[in-house]
């Protein structure tokens, strides 16, 4: 699951009713800084968090809004970008969008 901070809070507050949103947000950000979570850009109006910290991409379904991990490499993209544009790539985040298999079948 690629939960938003609000979704994490909604889950945690069920077990710990006195926890504040600020505590949840602070802990999520600390986990990102410690490389225990990654932040997936601002999708559907909110940042999402992913516990899968290895380099991979994401697919967002336009209909059901689910987020899927995509572990298929894009061969040569780094070399093409650095040699053609002269950029030095330090990090990347690629999000694809369209219809997932379930929504496409409907």
- 56-106: CATH topology is Dna Ligase; domain 1 (3.30.1490)
- For the chain, the structural domain boundaries read 1-53, 56-106
| Domain 1-53 CATH class label | mainly alpha
Q: What's the rounded Cα separation, in Å, for the pair 79 and 24?
A: 39
Q: What's the rounded Cα separation, in Å, for the pair 39 and 95?
A: 12
Q: What is the pLDDT of residues 24-72, one digit of tens each?
A: 999 999 999 999 999 887 666 788 999 988 888 899 999 998 999 998 8
pLDDT at 91 over 80: no
- Contact yes or no for 70/59 (Cβ under 8 A): yes
């Amino acid at each position: 699951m690629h939960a938003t901070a609000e979704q994490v809070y909604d889950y945690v507050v069920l077990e710990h009713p006195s926890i504040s949103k600020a505590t949840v947000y602070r802990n999520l950000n600390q986990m990102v800084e410690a490389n225990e979570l990654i932040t997936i850009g601002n999708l559907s109006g909110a940042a999402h968090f992913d516990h899968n910290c290895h380099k991979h991409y994401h697919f967002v379904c336009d209909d059901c809004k689910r987020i899927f991990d995509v572990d298929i490499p894009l061969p040569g993209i780094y070399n093409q970008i650095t040699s053609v544009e002269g950029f030095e790539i330090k990090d990347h985040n690629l999000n694809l969008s369209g219809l997932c298999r379930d929504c496409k079948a409907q």
